[in-house]
Amino acid sequence: MKSKFVLVVLMALLTLSIPARAQLVIEITSGADQLLPVAVVPFGYTGSTPLPEDVAGIVQSDLLRSGVFQAIPRENMLSLPTSAKDVFYRDWRLLKADYVLVGNVDANANGTYRITYELVNVLTQKRVGNKEALDVKPSNFRDAAHFISDKIYEQLTGIRGAFSTRILYVTAEGNKAAPTFKLQVADADGYRPQVVVSSQEPILSPSWSADGRYIAYVMFRNRRPNIFIQELATGKQQQLAQFRGLNGAPAWSPDGKKLALVLSKDNNPEIYTLDIATKKLERMTNHYSIDTEPSWEPDGNGIIFTSDRGGNPQIYRLDVKSKSVERVTFEGELNTRARLTPDGRYLVTVQKNDGNYHIALQDMKTGRVQVLTQTYLDESPSIAPNGSMVMYATTENSKGILAVVSVDGLVKYKLPSADGDVREPAWSPYFK
Amino acid sequence: MSVSKLGKFAVVGLSAAWLAGCSTTATESDNSAVAEEGAATETTESADDMAASDDATYAAGEDGAVSSVIVEDEEAMAAQMQDVDPLAGVSTVFYFDFDKSIVRPAAREALAKHADFLINNPDARIVLEGHADERGTREYNMALGERRAKAVMRYLTIQGVAASQIETVSFGEEVPVAFGHDDASWQLNRRVEVRYE
Amino acid sequence: MRWTDKESYSLPVVLAIGLHVIILVGGSVGLVLGDDEPPAPKRPPIVNATIVDVSDTIIGKREAELRQAAAQAQQEAQKKAKEAARKKAEREALEKQRRQAQAAQKKREAAERKAEADRRALLEREKAEKARKAEAAKKKAQQEQAKKEKAQQEAEQKKRLEEKKRAEEEKRKRQEQERAKELERQRQLEAKAIAEAEEARRRQAEAEVQKAIAEEEAKQLRIEEGQAVQSISSLIMDRIASVWIRPPNARNGMKTKLRIGFLPSGEVSTVDVLESSGDSLFDQRAKDAVVKMGRVEELADVDYAIFERNFRQIELLFNPQDLRN
């Protein structure tokens, strides 16, 4: 609509004043509400032993989940090239594929496999980037696939892929009245879950260290909450000093040196920071209301948190140096458990409107707020390290599940269902 | 373990029923919804029965719901009766309005009995375990549960109980007693439980 | 008395000198008083002639001396002009007396020497007459000559004047003629200029009318061309917009300008980035969109001149305004 108007104006100008030889300029101000069509051709393999994973299939799933791409169904493909030189472009133009990923798997002598892949632009009929090769063990096929997905995603979007990242989440399994709580870690697509810790008492608030090596979480012991730090690779667990009352909401600082947490040892919930090396505790807030759910700004200069000091829970920002506090959210009946995108541009909160709890996105530059989800009892939003997606917990058929919504609200998907109630997702940072 | 827990839940349900029965003025839409929507669990069923009979106050507490509890947890009930526990039949669960931490008037009588007991037994220690319903975020609900526990604690200390006898802990929404996603379940989960150590 | 002696020349000499003096004095008095008083009565020419005769004939060699004396007397007279004037009456009276005495003596002497005197007087008269006649003739001749010359001169003068006048007249006439000619010429020039201006105006007016017609036609053509250009442009715009898939990091305000070459068939022949957005992916998607649009069949039906003017080469400005960010 707008673009048409622009053109009309342009043409009016042309007609009125510009002699016939003037350069015609057509302005295009809107584009297609269409996902980028990509064909992920099954990778070639001539070996006799079956492969542990369908690499191209995993890549295609990854790309589809990102919400940026649409895939050309395999059954529609007219040919199955395994290298760029075999790509017959007219076939793919016909299928309306803009880009084609081709690859091949060969068994190496040492039991590993060599995976090669190439991405071609059907329109320009040129390869995008180079032909790449990976040597992988059979157990790492999923990793290889996610790695390829990351590369393709970055080449086609300009944004670093987050398919190789992982997620933490908590499940409550078994008898509802006496469930078993499990803290689990899985691939970002929900595959390959591993239990980190299991308990008969509640586990909540898992949090990643900035380098992805450590996690922190709250686990009850003897009916009282405790904060634990654990090294993922070794499973080495460390319990922080326990205080009377609340011990909750641990959040790692971006530099990995501090943990923001909530203690009510001084009567009501306040935000503290704990220097992990020195064990020095510093009180950051001082208010008779509830102050909780701290989360660091990407630069570590501020901590955003939930407080009902204004009457109902809203998000506030705490300046780490001055400890001054300012309110950040104003829309919605309440806003809680905020997280910032890695670029600091957007604030994701759990917002209540008309009795419903949904994930909302607030543009920190414009103040504009958009509700991203329409599911039931949405909570615990966690943002992918590339800022493109928000994973959150919701309730479906009286069961807690994990779902993902793109930051633009257009893409939504659910993670494959795990046993029991699933909750408290925490998206890992990039692993260096 | 699971058996005793079940018994505990039964008691909780009973108390809830009793409380619901005698606090019609305090209960708002939360309780009225209970009757309409019904409940999935046994405990809420009993709560429904009680809510239905408006004037069946204390007597209602010894009604069918009690017998059903006895059926399920005979040993525990028998033990209580043998000891002639001064707190026998005294509610240990106190309910709250949504997003509120005000002790309801209906809870005063029972809390007064707990206060008497604690004053008379200075060595006795209680833990007030605060809970929230599933709505809202988990850590905020942890704080909300604690706020409820502290409200009860304040009520007790005003009665003369030494603060040193009381500890508050919050479970937030992590340990519900009702598992529906409705007002009835949420009302039952917004609670403070008194636990003697 | 000796000087009354008939043989002596002394008396005539004295008389002559006296006469001279009187003449000179009278002349000078007349000269001096000439302006104030009525001129002295003209002497009869005979007296003059006599005196001249006397001086001429008698003095002879002593002419210079006499002249000198006369000059001296004249000087003296001049010197004593005032005095002389004052004593004029006295002198005139004396003169009269002397003349009466002279006249009386003359009578006597005349009588005494009548013959001699008569003869001499006759001779002298004759001689004087002769001289006088000659002189008169000469004078007359001279006068006539002068008169003639004067007349001639006057005639010549007149003639010259007339000629001059005529010449001037001619000149004037000529000049007038020339001026008239000049005026005529100028009039003609002006007339010509006016005519030319008129013609020019007419031509211009005609040209303007032609131009207006041409412009109207051109405008009509331009409108038609504009309409054609607009319809094809909006077609291209719609088609590209429908296939332009922006990368997720695209933002409103990013701008990429491409230069597209079309073949008359409507096929895209070239795609070049004129101005990059600074984001290679954004640029690439814009180029991809152009390739995806493919052939614009409608261009094949467009008038070739219009195609050449407008679509042989166009620019596409990709300037998203509809993005969320």
What pLDDT shows up at residue B59?
31
Q: Pick from B140, B168, B175 the residue to mutate for testing the A interface (most A CBs within 10 Å).
A: B140
Say if CB A87 and CB A81 are below 8 A apart. Answer: yes
pLDDT above 70: percentage of residues in chain C: 75
Say if CB A371 and CB A359 are below 8 A apart. Answer: yes
Q: Which amino acid is at C207?
A: A
CA distance B55 to chain A (A): 31
Say if CB B124 and CB B118 are below 8 A apart. Answer: yes
Tell which wins on pLDDT, C8 or A337: A337
- Tell me how many residue pairs between chain A and chain C have CB atoms under 8 A apart: 119
Name the residue among B9, B99, B167 with its Cβ closest to that of A177: B9
Instruction: Test A30 with C230 for CB contact under 8 angstroms.
Output: no
Q: Which pair of structure tokens corresponds to residue A256?
A: 């990995």
Chains C and A touch (3+ CB pairs under 8 A): yes
What pLDDT shows up at residue B38?
35
What pLDDT shows up at residue C69?
67
Instruction: Test B174 with A204 for CB contact under 8 angstroms.
Output: yes
Average pLDDT on A306-327 reads 96
**Residue A50: which pLDDT band, with cuts at 50, 70 and 90?**
very high
Dist. CA A332–CA A351, nearest whole Å: 6
Set of chain C residues whose Cβ sits within 8 Å of the Cβ of A28:
237, 240-241, 244, 289, 316-319
Q: Is C314 on the interface with A (CB under 8 A)?
A: yes
Say if CB C296 and CB A5 are below 8 A apart. Answer: no
For A227-231, the CB contacts below 8 A with 24+ separation are A227/A259, A227/A261, A228/A197, A229/A259, A229/A276, A230/A196, A230/A197
A223 conformational bin, left if phi > 0, alpha if psi -120 to 50, beta if neither:
left
Dist. CA C13–CA C55, nearest whole Å: 9
Name the residue among B143, B167, B169 with its Cβ closest to that of A269: B143
What pLDDT shows up at residue C125?
75
Instruction: Test A123 with C291 for CB contact under 8 angstroms.
Output: yes
Q: Is residue B16's pLDDT more than 60?
A: no
Say if CB B135 and CB B180 are below 8 A apart. Answer: no
Dist. CA A246–CA B142, nearest whole Å: 8
pLDDT tens digits, one per residue of A154-205: 999 999 999 999 999 999 999 989 999 999 999 999 999 999 999 999 999 9
CA distance A358 to chain B (A): 10
Q: Is A176 on the interface with B (CB under 8 A)?
A: yes
Instruction: Test C289 with A30 for CB contact under 8 angstroms.
Output: no
Query: Which sequence spans correspond to the domains of chain A?
Result: 36-157, 166-427
What pLDDT shows up at residue C173?
85
Which top CATH class is A36-157?
alpha beta
Q: Which amino acid is at A191?
A: Y
Q: Is residue A405's pLDDT more than 60?
A: yes
**Residue B53: which pLDDT band, with cuts at 50, 70 and 90?**
very low
CATH number of B2-196: 3.30.1330.60
Q: Is A371 on the interface with C (CB under 8 A)?
A: no
Q: Is residue C91's pLDDT more than 80?
A: no
Set of chain A residues whose Cβ sits within 8 Å of the Cβ of C311:
24
- Looking up tokens 């150590």, which residue turns up? B197
Instruction: Test A262 with B139 for CB contact under 8 angstroms.
Output: yes
What pLDDT shows up at residue B122?
95
Name the residue among A249, A264, A334 with its Cβ closest to that of B146: A264
pLDDT tens digits, one per residue of A117-142: 999 999 999 999 999 999 999 999 99
Q: Is A227 on the interface with B (CB under 8 A)?
A: no
Say if CB B118 and CB B165 are below 8 A apart. Answer: yes
CA distance to A191, A229, A256, A429, A431, per residue, from A214 (Å): 20, 7, 9, 11, 11
Q: Is residue B121's pLDDT more than 70?
A: yes
Set of chain B residues whose Cβ sits within 8 Å of the Cβ of A264:
143, 146
pLDDT tens digits, one per residue of B82-113: 556 788 889 999 999 988 889 999 999 999 99
pLDDT tens digits, one per residue of A373-401: 999 999 999 999 999 999 999 999 889 99
Q: Which pair of structure tokens corresponds to residue C273?
A: 């980035």
What pLDDT shows up at residue C226?
85
CA distance B40 to chain A (A): 12
Query: Which sequence spans correspond to the domains of chain C?
Result: 10-112, 244-318
Instruction: Test B137 with A245 for CB contact under 8 angstroms.
Output: no
Instruction: Test A245 with B168 for CB contact under 8 angstroms.
Output: yes
Average pLDDT of chain C, as a whole number = 78
Mean pLDDT is lowest, of A220-224, A243-247, C11-15, C263-267, for C11-15
Q: Is B33 on the interface with A (CB under 8 A)?
A: no
Tell which wins on pLDDT, A61 or B88: A61
Tell which wins on pLDDT, B68 or C116: C116
Q: Which pair of structure tokens corresponds to residue A181?
A: 């709580």
Dist. CA B93–CA B106, nearest whole Å: 11
* Burial readout C249-274 (b: 16 or more C-beta within 10 A, e: otherwise): ebeeebebbbebebbeebebeebeee
**Residue C180: which pLDDT band, with cuts at 50, 70 and 90?**
confident
Report the DSSP beta bridge partners of residue C301: none
Average pLDDT on C274-288 reads 95
Which top CATH class is C244-318?
alpha beta
What pLDDT shows up at residue A41?
98
Instruction: Test A26 with C320 for CB contact under 8 angstroms.
Output: no
Which chains lie within 8 Å of chain C at 3 or more CB pairs, if any? A
The Cα angle at residue B159 between residues B158 and B160, in degrees rounded to 5: 85
What pLDDT shows up at residue A298?
96
pLDDT tens digits, one per residue of C223-236: 888 888 889 999 99
Q: Is C15 on the interface with A (CB under 8 A)?
A: no
Q: Is C318 on the interface with A (CB under 8 A)?
A: yes
Q: How many C-beta neighbours within 10 Å does residue B178 have?
A: 27
Measure CA A44 to chain center. Answer: 31
Q: Is C274 on the interface with A (CB under 8 A)?
A: no
Question: Which stretches within chain C are classed as H helix?
Answer: 10-33, 45-54, 63-79, 81-86, 88-112, 114-243, 280-293, 304-306
Tell which wins on pLDDT, C216 or B79: C216
Q: Is A313 on the interface with B (CB under 8 A)?
A: yes
Which chains lie within 8 Å of chain B at 3 or more CB pairs, if any? A
What pLDDT shows up at residue C70?
67
Q: Is A262 on the interface with B (CB under 8 A)?
A: yes
Q: Pick from C215, C219, C227, C233 the residue to mutate for testing the A interface (most A CBs within 10 Å).
A: C233
Dist. CA A105–CA A110, nearest whole Å: 14
Longest dimension (CA), chain A: 87
**Total length of chain C:** 325
What pLDDT shows up at residue C128?
76
Instruction: Test C281 with A3 for CB contact under 8 angstroms.
Output: no
Average pLDDT on B37-63 reads 34
Instruction: Test A7 with C292 for CB contact under 8 angstroms.
Output: no
What pLDDT shows up at residue C157?
82
- Architecture of the domain delimited by A166-427: 6 Propeller (2.120)
**Residue C103: which pLDDT band, with cuts at 50, 70 and 90?**
confident
Q: Is C236 on the interface with A (CB under 8 A)?
A: yes
CA distance A13 to chain C (A): 10
Mean pLDDT is lowest, of A387-401, B112-126, C54-68, for C54-68
Set of chain A residues whose Cβ sits within 8 Å of the Cβ of C226:
11, 14-15
Query: Which sequence spans correspond to the domains of chain B?
Result: 2-196
Nearest chain B residue to A220 by CA: give it. Answer: B171
Name the residue among A14, A27, A34 with its Cβ closest to that of C317: A27
Set of chain C residues whose Cβ sits within 8 Å of the Cβ of A372:
none
Name the residue among A245, A268, A292 with its Cβ closest to that of B140: A292
Which chains lie within 8 Å of chain A at 3 or more CB pairs, if any? B, C
Tell which wins on pLDDT, C152 or B26: C152
Q: What is the dihedral angle through the alpha carbons of A276, A277, A281, A284, rounded to the nearest 10 degrees?
A: -60
